[in-house]
Amino acid sequence: MILRLAIASLFARALTVGMTILAIALSVALFLGVEKIRTGAKASFADTISGTDLIVGARSGSVQLLLYSVFRIGNATNNVTWQSYQDIAARSEVDWIVPISLGDSHRQFRVMGTSVAFFEHYKYRQGRSLEVANGAILSDLFDTVIGADVAAVLGYEIGDPIIVAHGLASFAEHKDQPFRVSGILKKTGTPIDRTVIVSMEAIEAIHVDWQGGAQVQGQATPADELRQMELTPKAVTAALVGVKSPLQIFRLQRAINDYGQEPLLAILPGVALQELWGIVGIAETALLGVSFMVVVTALIGMMATIFSSLNERRREMAIFRAMGARPATILSMLVLEAVVMAALGALLGLGLLYLGLFIGQPILDREFGLWLVIDPPSLREGWVMLAVIAAGAIVSLVPAIRAYRLSVADGMVVKT
């Protein structure tokens, strides 16, 4: 009956109580949301590359190499010569090697030159392979396979022409060598979705008539002639390497890092990712700290709401006292109200979080290439909600003790 009366009392102050619950709900949604995006982003990053033992590039930072080669974030400071690539490929430890050439773009999407082997060896999300939704992978020199987002955003279909721009932010286009969409990949939730894939030879072909970042005046080699040319790449941006035995990974890594012909860097994707988390860890902690403070602020707001209602509720408390309620009962009623408010706030917050996730999932994917997996609430979220409810009860003790003292002082004499 006391619980029912406490709930009825809350309903009687529906507007104030509703605003308090909403504040708690928003803070809980924010706190859980930050955590969800944090873990989701980590999972999304970690799922982007799988089954690749080493990534090789020109010597720079390991995080930088990981970011530009896998996530298309930033640029390489240098290339790896084709000779070096060949030397690595020829090593006995190497099971497979896939070249990557980055530098050109199409609209807002990066163009990546690679070999057909990329479609065989690139794995994501615990070993999944790329799948073609429509068409086929590269067969002609000017074929291109596009990611699901490229197709969706630009409305491309099989057979549509694509003009590649020189560089990333250039108005110079390889108009004389248009590509044709030969295949559209299924959605992967990785940067591949936002990539235009062409062959390494095609990258060479479109630059045959170019020097110093511009097309040589009056020079335009016909496409058919290009198809007959020897188009061995001069350099690659990076290479993905698979090793025959896991025991050989570190030996190969050391050999590449000690390669004498040019300064190279070989990284283990998982280790580089950990390094990346270490760098962003401070920002993560700060973000979590801020969202935690928002929860604390909401709970203090609830305490203020209960406090401000005490004076007008002295009549109600006096009625309870006159009917035989102990001051401790008054205290427990206020704590109970706070627990109900905090619990409703936490539940509503969880609901808002999932609503936000369902609405935000495609937006995050489209805008940031971040694919958040929407799982059912985890045990950790349950603990967070329980902690919020417990904190609500603890915070409410401050006005509840005040109410306790008021009820002792007022007794059954009604104060208004």
Q: Which of 319, 355, 363, 390 binds another protein (CB under 8 A)?
A: 319
Alpha carbons within 13 A on the beta-carbon side of 129: 7
Only segment of 58-66, 160-168, 387-395, 404-412 that touches another protein (CB under 8 A): 404-412
Q: Is 320 an interacting residue with respect to another protein (CB under 8 A)? A: yes
Q: Is 3 an interacting residue with respect to another protein (CB under 8 A)? A: no
Only segment of 92-100, 248-256, 312-320, 389-397 that touches another protein (CB under 8 A): 312-320
**Burial label, 225 (beta-carbon count in 10 A; 0-12, 13-18, 19+):** exposed
Q: Is 117 an interacting residue with respect to another protein (CB under 8 A)? A: no
Q: Is 390 an interacting residue with respect to another protein (CB under 8 A)? A: no
Q: Is 19 an interacting residue with respect to another protein (CB under 8 A)? A: no
Tokens of 174: 């390889």
Q: Measured from the CB atom, is 7 or 393 closer to another protein?
A: 7
Q: Is 9 an interacting residue with respect to another protein (CB under 8 A)? A: yes
3-state helix, strand, coil split of the chain in percent (to 5) is 55, 15, 25
Tokens of 143: 């074929």
Q: Is 325 an interacting residue with respect to another protein (CB under 8 A)? A: yes
Per-position DSSP letters for 85-133, written without gaps between them: HHHHHTSTTEEEEEEEEEEEEETTEEEEEE-THHHHH-EETTTEEP-EE
Contact of 195 with 110, CB cutoff 8 Å: yes
The amino acid present at 70, given as its one-letter code, is V
Q: Is 404 an interacting residue with respect to another protein (CB under 8 A)? A: no
CB of 407 to another protein, least distance (A): 9
Q: Measured from the CB atom, is 363 or 413 closer to another protein?
A: 413
- For residue 196, what is the DSSP state? E
CB of 325 to another protein, least distance (A): 5
Give CA 275 to chain center in angstroms.
Answer: 16
Tokens of 106: 């199409």
CB of 338 to another protein, least distance (A): 17
Q: Is 293 an interacting residue with respect to another protein (CB under 8 A)? A: no
Q: Is 329 an interacting residue with respect to another protein (CB under 8 A)? A: yes
Nearest one of 398, 251, 411 to 326, comparing CA atoms: 411
CB of 335 to another protein, least distance (A): 17
Rounded to an integer, what distance in angstroms lies between the CA atom of residue 358 and that of residue 402?
43
Alpha carbons within 13 A on the beta-carbon side of 49: 22
CB of 319 to another protein, least distance (A): 5
Q: Is 411 an interacting residue with respect to another protein (CB under 8 A)? A: yes
Q: Which of 152, 284, 316, 397 binds another protein (CB under 8 A)?
A: 316
CB of 411 to another protein, least distance (A): 3
Rounded to an integer, what distance in angstroms lies between the CA atom of residue 85 and that of residue 58?
11
# binding residues, another protein (CB under 8 A): 28
Query: Contact positions toward another protein, by CB under 8 A?
Result: 1-2, 4-5, 8-9, 11-12, 315-316, 318-329, 408, 410-414
